[in-house]
Structure 1
Amino acid sequence: MKKISILLAALVITGVSYGAQLELKGGFEPWREGNNSSSSFDQGGSLGAELLFNAENSPFDYGIGMEWKSEFSGGENNVLAETKSNAFPVYLTGKYGIGEDLFYLVGRAGWAMYDTSESIDGFYGAVGVGKQFAHITVEALYESMDLSGSSHMYSGDRANLASIKFGYKFGENKRDVISREKEEALKAEYEKQQAEEAAKIAAENKAKEEAAALETENIAKENERTEILKKYNNVIVADGYSMDKNEPMNVNQEFLENIASDLSEESGTLTVRAYTDNTGSEAANLRISKKRADKAAEAIREGINNENIEVISEGLGETNFLTDNSTLDKRKTNRRIEVNFIAK
């Protein structure tokens, strides 16, 4: 049993060192027979363990294993019938998957040892098929053990067996790990692409919303600007001048107070025009209108304080009457200052 313990320890150490799958196995052997006679042994059972390594790019598992087979008894004319030995096969194994996990082929090759006599230790081999269900395996094997000793490799003196084995695997198959890692990587890449696409769509939607908001804001500003500019379209800012005087009776204070802020971001030309009634000579009226226009223009220019707006003055005299000059009040109405702003 000492060498069996050493082999078992070697199996465990190897598995731990290399991350192999450990499969514990148990089964029964309904048919046992010695090939050199017609005698059949009593039915028996087996317990064992395998350490399996996985090929990464093919459905092939390989590894090492060992079994304990219950005592061979009941046979005749056979060395095992005389010794009634327990058998301990130690072997290399390979398993090759067929189809999409439909079933797999099993092969074993190794050495069978017997607890009653080392002289009958000999070659051990097995072939069969198996099926895996998650971590559980079921295998049907034909097994053969040489009984001629180490000096006769696979002689005619053998024990043949048919066995059914059940196993449970511990640990993950490397192909499954690689497949899962690939699947996780693909999933992560897909989620990353989805996140990037969602972020792209969100950014596009945000840009559209910002553009729409900006357009709405620009339209509102333009409408506001249009309304403001209407206020400076031929607006009367002063009237009611006395004859030959430069001081008006009525002044549009709101105009003077708001012009600086209303036109702070504008550029263009603001024309200050002065008109008179028809009292007096045409030349005199032209001169007084020019003086009134210049004075008003200077006051407006100082109030605006915007270099982008050019303020010019025009004295137009007795032209463009708003009403006839039949009364004093009507004449004062015609004596006025009008402002007109044209934006660039």
Structure 2
Amino acid sequence: MKKLSIMLAAIAISGITYGAQLELKGGFEPWREGNNSYSSFDNGGSLGAELLFNAENMPFDYGIGMEWKSEFSGGDGNNVLAETKANAFPIYLTGKYGIGEDLFYLVGRAGWSIYDNSSAKDGFYGAVGIGKELGNFTLEALYETMDLSGSSNMYSGDRANLASIKFGYKFGENKRDVISREKEAAAKAEYEKQQAEIKKLEEENRLAQERQVEEQNRLAQEKALRETMLDKYSSLVVTENYETNKLESDSNNESFFKNIDNDLTAESGTLKVTSYTDNRGSEEYNQSISQQRADKVADKIKSNLTNENIEVISEGLGETNFLNDNATFEQRKANRRTEINFIAK
């Protein structure tokens, strides 16, 4: 028995080291009966332990176990327990196969039964039954059979047949549960990663859309400002109210000359300077003086403009494009003017 205890302890330590589940069991045996008319046994109970390993890819557990069964009393009065009391110690291999989705499992045992009474001979031990897991707890109903005469033939010699109910508690984790949890954790992590990536892409898309809208607004604003600026430089009078026969006037649009370089800094095109006169004097003279006035304004514009992408041209159109009918002095003075038009490329 000492060697047996040492062996079981070594198996237990090895099993736990390599991830086995330890299940402690206790139960009662309301029915014990011999296989002949001479053998009858009193009811009893059992205590035991099993080391179980788990198949990873199927609902199958396997391992080794040992039980202590309370004393058997009875026999045929000759060589089976000899009317004395004996405790049985089955040592067995066990297997459990799950049926359905956590419904129940089938149990099978095969091993050897040892007795602590020399009147009983060690022999074959086997059991079959059904069980149910409730978390770490188990409940099993078994039919067991044990040789009492050393014979391994289940149908000869003296034998004890038992019906037992066993309660158990498992220590350690089922490998399938661990794998399932790891897979679930990995799947959850992958899902969270995908959701984070989706959220990141959505945020990037949102920011890209915001930037696109901002860029569109900026371009629209620039376009509106440019159109406003271009409208500003359409038929803009920059010098007016020329005195008769004078090339310059005190009525200058100084804001125009001051801001023209800044307004047209990013533009490219032609700035056309056009000068007009009233209808007094000869047509040739009016043409000549209007050209001189246009040249004067063009020179002043060039002196204020640094953008080389803008060409400044001047043209005198004399007595054309009147603003009024030249009936009065003031009307004729108003017609003597110089305008600019910007033509963008």
Instruction: State the TM-score, normalized to the length of structure 1.
Output: 0.93
Give the 3 Å change call, closer, same or farther, for CA 304–117 of structure 1 in structure 2.
farther
After TM superposition, the structure 1 = structure 2 runs for residues 203-218 of structure 1, keeping only pairs within 5 Å, are 203-218=204-219
After TM superposition, the structure 1 = structure 2 runs for residues 1-344 of structure 1, keeping only pairs within 5 Å, are 1-77=1-77, 79-117=80-118, 120-149=121-150, 152-154=151-153, 155-344=156-345
In 2, distance between residues paired with 1:81 and 1:33? 16
In 2, distance between residues paired with 1:124 and 1:242? 136
Of all paired residues, the percent bearing the same amino acid is: 67
Whether the 8 Å contact between 1:113 and 1:122 is mirrored in structure 2 is yes
In 2, distance between residues paired with 1:237 and 1:191? 68
In 2, distance between residues paired with 1:100 and 1:325? 107
Q: CA deviation at 1:40?
A: 2.1
Give the 3 Å change call, closer, same or farther, for CA 76–38 of structure 1 in structure 2.
closer
Whether the 8 Å contact between 1:36 and 1:156 is mirrored in structure 2 is no
Amino acid at match of 1:28: F
Q: CA deviation at 1:191?
A: 2.4
Give the 3 Å change call, closer, same or farther, for CA 53–118 of structure 1 in structure 2.
farther
Per the alignment, in what secondary structure is the counterpart of residue 86 of structure 1?
strand
Give the 3 Å change call, closer, same or farther, for CA 75–147 of structure 1 in structure 2.
closer
- CA-based RMSD of the aligned residues comes to 2.0
Amino acid at match of 1:299: K
In 2, distance between residues paired with 1:94 and 1:107? 5
Q: CA deviation at 1:38?
A: 4.1
In 2, distance between residues paired with 1:191 and 1:199? 12
Amino acid at match of 1:64: I
In 2, distance between residues paired with 1:109 and 1:240? 125
Q: CA deviation at 1:158?
A: 1.8
Per the alignment, in what secondary structure is the counterpart of residue 86 of structure 2?
coil
Q: CA deviation at 1:118?
A: 8.6
In 1, distance between residues paired with 2:120 and 2:27? 27
Whether the 8 Å contact between 1:130 and 1:140 is mirrored in structure 2 is yes
**Number of corresponding residues:** 342
In 1, distance between residues paired with 2:47 and 2:112? 16
Q: CA deviation at 1:39?
A: 3.6
Per the alignment, in what secondary structure is the counterpart of residue 90 of structure 1?
strand
Worse overlay, 37-46 or 306-315 = 37-46
Segments of structure 2 that go 5 or more residues without pairing to the other structure are none
Per the alignment, in what secondary structure is the counterpart of residue 72 of structure 2?
coil
Whether the 8 Å contact between 2:74 and 2:84 is mirrored in structure 1 is no
Q: CA deviation at 1:7?
A: 3.0
Instruction: State the TM-score, normalized to the length of structure 2.
Output: 0.92
Amino acid at match of 1:260: D
Amino acid at match of 1:137: T
In 1, distance between residues paired with 2:176 and 2:119? 40
Per the alignment, in what secondary structure is the counterpart of residue 338 of structure 2?
strand
Whether the 8 Å contact between 2:16 and 2:22 is mirrored in structure 1 is no
Give the 3 Å change call, closer, same or farther, for CA 333–326 of structure 1 in structure 2.
same
**CA offsets, 1:8-56, max 9 Å, x none?**
3123212222101110000011112222334421111111110111111
**CA offsets, 1:90-121, max 9 Å, x none?**
11001111122221111111111112229711
Amino acid at match of 1:30: P
Whether the 8 Å contact between 1:42 and 1:75 is mirrored in structure 2 is no
Whether the 8 Å contact between 2:80 and 2:119 is mirrored in structure 1 is no
In 2, distance between residues paired with 1:195 and 1:32? 64
Worse overlay, 12-21 or 62-71 = 12-21
